[in-house]
Every structure is written in structure tokens, then in C-alpha cells.
């Protein structure tokens, strides 16, 4: 284990949550190509995560570490950080990508809905950041949280999700203040990047794109590059929320 840590001493280490699929997998690939070794968290998508790690290991052996956990289980949060440190000996970046998204129309929302959406979207990122903070301070590292444009402007029938992402936006600013100057903390607010997997309303999609000045959906790779930039290049930025939304909020 000490030998592995020594081998990785010159490469930055990032812990990425929700890394098995979709935007999380794009972030993992992009950071890996930028020279990071990775601790890759997943919850249920074991086959997807295995395929991703095999792909990345083929490019650079010993560069990935898979971590399974349900982020709603509080004791797993510091454990993820501890396992990452045990494997690599350091931590330079935390990317809080894992999220839970589903509608909670007023009149139907339950305390269970609240607990699930806040646990995934706020509690886990905050307590992962708290556990990672000493290690990130030692490395003068950075945190990137994935929020949402709907943290700023509500999405109909998704009040609990929007409130959770708004709380994560404030957590980003609060952590930036508390962890400075050693650790930078920023966030990305994506617009329409990937449609929800159960989204089938083509008219709704067309209407959303009609209100997007760049007139297209974004790509996971564009989000991944924004993550990389905030981690590696945005050396004088902290407490910022970067919209990557094609101008979606300009028109409302």
C-alpha cells in the first residue's frame, strides 16, 4: 500500500461520487485524461462502474479505486474518504456529483421524499466535504459540487428537489468561506445536459430548447471540462456557481 501511495505521489487524486454513469462517468473520464487518479463511488450500477474502471485501467494501470456506498447511510460518508486516503495516501479533489431527482408535487410530497432528496443532494455532499477537509487542506485542493439551475429558479412539481439544490448552493458558499484559504469550493449549475431517463415529453423538450439561447442541449463532456477547469485552473475563484446552461436562465 505504501508503494502504491508513493507511485501516485505525483498524480492528483480525486474522489467522484455517482461516477458510474452519465455525467459522473464523463467527469471521471475527463479527469483521468487530465492526469488524475480516481476513487470512483457508485451505489447500484456495479456493471457500469466495472466497465468504466476497466476502460481507465487499460489506459493507466492502478489509477482507479471503486467504492460502493449508499450515501444516505451517514457512516459511509467519512468511510469513503478514509478508504480513499488508505488507498492513495492523499486527496486533492472532491467532486460531489451524485444526486437524486424526482417530482414531488405539492399535496403528494412526504417526509420520506424530503429525507431522500435532502440526503442525496445536501447532506452527503456537506459531510463528505467535512470529512475530506483536513486532507484537502494538506494538499491545497478543491471541491466542486453539482447543483442545478433550478437551485435559483424553481421547476414546477419539484419543490423538494429545488430546495435541496438551493441548500447545496449555499453550502458551496459557506464551505468556501470556512475552508479558505487552503481549499477552494465552487459549484456548477447545469442546464439541459441529459434528459431524465423517464422523460418522454418531446413537446416539453422542444419548448425548453426554444428558451435556450444556444438552442441545444449541452453535453456531459462540457460539464466535465467545467469541473476540470474549476479544479485545476480557476486558482482565484472560490464560492462561485458556474452556470453551464446554454444561457437558459437569461430568458426565464
Q: Assign residue 38 a region: left if phi > 0, alpha if psi is -120 to 50, beta otherwise? A: beta
Q: Which of 209, 99, 203 is nearest to 158 (CA)?
A: 99
Angle at 111 between CA 109 and CA 112, to 5 degrees: 95
Contact 96, 79 (CB under 8 A): no
150 is catalytic: no
Q: Which three cell numbers stand for residue 87?
A: 488507498
Interior/surface letters 18-49, b for 16+ CB within 10 angstroms, e for the rest: bbbbbbbbbbbbbbbebebbbbbbbbebeebb
Alpha carbons 26 and 225: distance in angstroms, whole number: 9
Q: Which residue of the set 42, 88, 150, 161 is catalytic? A: 161
Q: Which three cell numbers stand for residue 185?
A: 469550493
How do beta strands 37-42 and 184-190 pair?
unpaired
Other Cβ atoms less than 10 A from the Cβ of 151: the count is: 23
Contact 2, 29 (CB under 8 A): no
Alpha carbons 226 and 34: distance in angstroms, whole number: 13
Active site residues per annotation: 161
Amino acid at each position: 500500500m505504501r508503494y502504491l501511495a508513493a507511485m501516485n505521489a505525483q498524480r492528483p487524486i480525486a474522489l467522484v461520487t455517482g461516477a458510474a454513469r452519465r455525467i459522473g462517468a464523463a467527469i471521471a473520464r475527463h479527469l483521468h485524461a487530465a492526469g488524475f487518479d480516481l476513487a470512483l463511488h457508485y451505489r447500484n450500477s456495479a456493471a457500469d462502474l466495472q466497465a468504466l474502471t476497466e476502460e481507465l485501467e487499460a489506459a493507466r494501470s492502478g489509477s482507479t479505486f471503486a467504492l460502493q456506498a449508499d450515501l444516505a447511510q451517514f457512516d459511509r460518508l467519512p468511510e469513503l474518504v478514509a478508504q480513499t486516503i488508505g488507498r492513495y495516501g492523499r486527496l486533492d479533489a472532491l467532486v460531489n456529483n451524485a444526486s437524486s431527482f424526482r417530482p414531488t408535487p405539492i399535496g403528494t410530497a412526504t417526509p420520506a421524499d424530503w429525507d431522500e432528496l435532502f440526503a442525496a443532494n445536501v447532506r452527503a455532499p456537506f459531510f463528505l466535504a467535512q470529512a475530506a477537509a483536513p486532507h484537502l487542506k494538506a494538499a491545497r485542493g478543491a471541491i466542486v459540487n453539482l447543483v442545478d439551475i433550478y437551485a435559483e429558479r424553481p421547476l414546477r412539481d419539484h419543490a423538494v428537489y429545488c430546495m435541496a439544490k438551493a441548500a447545496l448552493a449555499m453550502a458551496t458558499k459557506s464551505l468556501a468561506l470556512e475552508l479558505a484559504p487552503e481549499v477552494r469550493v465552487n459549484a456548477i449549475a447545469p442546464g439541459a445536459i441529459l434528459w431524465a431517463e423517464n422523460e418522454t415529453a418531446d413537446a416539453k423538450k422542444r419548448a425548453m430548447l426554444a428558451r435556450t439561447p444556444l438552442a441545444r442541449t449541452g453535453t456531459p463532456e462540457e460539464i466535465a471540462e467545467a469541473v476540470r477547469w474549476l479544479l485545476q485552473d480557476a486558482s482565484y475563484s472560490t464560492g462561485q456557481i458556474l452556470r453551464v446552461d446554454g444561457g437558459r436562465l437569461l430568458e426565464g
